[in-house]
Structure 1
Amino acid sequence: MMNSSLINNKHLLWRAGFGPGINQFADLENRDKKALLNELFKEEPFVEVNYDTPDVETIDYMNDKSPAEKRKEIQKINRDQNNELNLNFLDRMVNSKDQLREKMAFFWHGHFASRVQNPKFNRQILNVIRKNSLGNFKDLLFAVSQAPAMLNFLNNQQNKKDHPNENFAREVMELFTMGRGNYTEKDIREGARAFTGWGYDKEGNFVERVKQHDEDIKTFLGKTGNFTGTDALNIILEQKATAKFITTKIYKFFVNENVDENIVNKLSENFYQSNYDIKKLMNEIFSSPWFYDKKNIGKKIKSPIELMVGMMRTLPMNIQNPENLIVYQKLLGQMLLYPPNVAGWPNGKSWIDSSTLMLRLQIPQIWSGLRPLEYTPRQDDDIDMGMKSRETALNKSFKNPNITIDWARVEKTLSNKKVEDYLIQTQNSLDMNTVNNFSDKSVKMNVINLMSTPEYQLM
Structure 2
Amino acid sequence: MMADSLVKNKHLLWRAGFGIGINQIDDLKNKNIKTLMNELFKQDSFTEVNYDTPDTDPTADYMNSNAPAEKKKEMQRINREQNNELNLNFLDKMVNSKEQMREKMAFFWHGHFASRVLNPKFNRQLLNTIRKNALGNFKDLLFEVSQSPAMLNFLNNQQNKKDHPNENFAREVMELFTMGRGNYTEKDVREGARAFTGWSYDKEGNFKERKNLHDEGTKTFLGKTGNFSGADVLNIILEQKSTSQFITTKIYKFFVNENVDKDIVDKLSTGFYNSGYDIKKLMTEIFSSSWFYDQKNIGNRIKSPVELMAGIMRVLPMHIQNPENLIVYQKLLGQMLLYPPNVSGWPNGKSWIDSSTLMLRLQVPQIWSGLRPLEYSPRQDDDIDMGMKSRETALNKTFKNPNITIDWDRVDKIFTSKKCEDYLIQNSKSLDMNTVNSFSDKSIKMTVINLMSTPEYQLM
- For normalisation by structure 2, the TM-score amounts to 0.97
Q: How does 1:375-414 map to 2 (within 5 A)?
A: 375-384=376-385, 388-395=390-397, 398-414=399-415
The aligned counterpart of 1:27 is: 27
For 2:107 and 2:442, how far apart are their aligned partners in 1? 37
Residue 327 in structure 1 maps to residue 355 in structure 2: no
Whether the 8 Å contact between 1:307 and 1:457 is mirrored in structure 2 is yes
For 1:197 and 1:434, how far apart are their aligned partners in 2? 63
The aligned counterpart of 1:13 is: 13
The aligned counterpart of 2:295 is: 294
Residue 337 in structure 1 maps to residue 329 in structure 2: no
| Secondary structure, counterpart of 1:26 in structure 2 | coil
Q: How does 1:363-382 map to 2 (within 5 A)?
A: 363-382=364-383
Deviation digits for residues 26-60 of structure 1 (CA, Å, limit 9, x no counterpart): 00000001111111122111000000011111798
Whether the 8 Å contact between 1:387 and 1:393 is mirrored in structure 2 is no
Change (3 A) 1:143 1:426: same
Whether the 8 Å contact between 2:377 and 2:395 is mirrored in structure 1 is no
Whether the 8 Å contact between 1:414 and 1:443 is mirrored in structure 2 is yes
The aligned counterpart of 1:273 is: 274
For 2:61 and 2:240, how far apart are their aligned partners in 1? 54
Whether the 8 Å contact between 1:132 and 1:139 is mirrored in structure 2 is yes
For 1:305 and 1:450, how far apart are their aligned partners in 2? 19
For 1:361 and 1:313, how far apart are their aligned partners in 2? 17
Deviation digits for residues 113-136 of structure 1 (CA, Å, limit 9, x no counterpart): 000000000000000000000000
For 1:3 and 1:11, how far apart are their aligned partners in 2? 10
| Secondary structure, counterpart of 2:225 in structure 1 | strand
Change (3 A) 1:173 1:105: same
Q: How does 1:279-318 map to 2 (within 5 A)?
A: 279-318=280-319
Deviation digits for residues 341-379 of structure 1 (CA, Å, limit 9, x no counterpart): 000000000000000000000000000000000012211
Whether the 8 Å contact between 1:3 and 1:29 is mirrored in structure 2 is no
| Secondary structure, counterpart of 1:400 in structure 2 | coil
Identify the range of structure 1 (3-12 vs 18-27) with the bigger mean alpha-carbon deviation: 3-12
* Deviation, structure 1 residue 164: 0.3
The aligned counterpart of 1:72 is: 73
Q: How does 1:28-427 map to 2 (within 5 A)?
A: 28-57=28-57, 67-384=68-385, 388-395=390-397, 398-427=399-428
For 2:313 and 2:76, how far apart are their aligned partners in 1? 30
Identify the range of structure 1 (49-58 vs 240-249) with the bigger mean alpha-carbon deviation: 49-58
| Secondary structure, counterpart of 1:139 in structure 2 | helix
Q: Which amino acid aligns with 2:323?
A: P
Whether the 8 Å contact between 1:327 and 1:399 is mirrored in structure 2 is no
* Deviation, structure 1 residue 61: 13
Identify the range of structure 1 (40-49 vs 439-448) with the bigger mean alpha-carbon deviation: 40-49
Whether the 8 Å contact between 2:11 and 2:298 is mirrored in structure 1 is yes
For 2:44 and 2:100, how far apart are their aligned partners in 1? 10
Q: Which amino acid aligns with 1:55?
A: D
Structure 1 portions without partners, runs of 5+? none
Q: Which amino acid aligns with 2:299?
A: G
Deviation digits for residues 126-166 of structure 1 (CA, Å, limit 9, x no counterpart): 00000000000000000000000000000001100110000
For 1:388 and 1:91, how far apart are their aligned partners in 2? 30
For 1:374 and 1:38, how far apart are their aligned partners in 2? 43
* Deviation, structure 1 residue 66: 5.8
| Secondary structure, counterpart of 2:57 in structure 1 | helix
**What number of residue pairs does the alignment pair up?**
456
Whether the 8 Å contact between 1:373 and 1:399 is mirrored in structure 2 is no
Q: What is the aligned-residue identity percentage?
A: 79
For 2:343 and 2:80, how far apart are their aligned partners in 1? 20
Q: Which amino acid aligns with 2:145?
A: V
Whether the 8 Å contact between 2:61 and 2:67 is mirrored in structure 1 is no
Change (3 A) 1:58 1:236: closer
For 2:57 and 2:253, how far apart are their aligned partners in 1? 44
Runs of 4+ in structure 1 displaced over 4 angstroms? 58-63, 385-388
Q: Which amino acid aligns with 1:342?
A: V
* Deviation, structure 1 residue 398: 2.1
Q: Which amino acid aligns with 1:312?
A: M
Q: Which amino acid aligns with 2:89?
A: N
For 2:134 and 2:74, how far apart are their aligned partners in 1? 35
- For normalisation by structure 1, the TM-score amounts to 0.97
Whether the 8 Å contact between 2:377 and 2:393 is mirrored in structure 1 is no
Q: Which amino acid aligns with 2:124?
A: R
| Secondary structure, counterpart of 1:285 in structure 2 | helix
For 1:238 and 1:222, how far apart are their aligned partners in 2? 12
Whether the 8 Å contact between 2:42 and 2:98 is mirrored in structure 1 is no
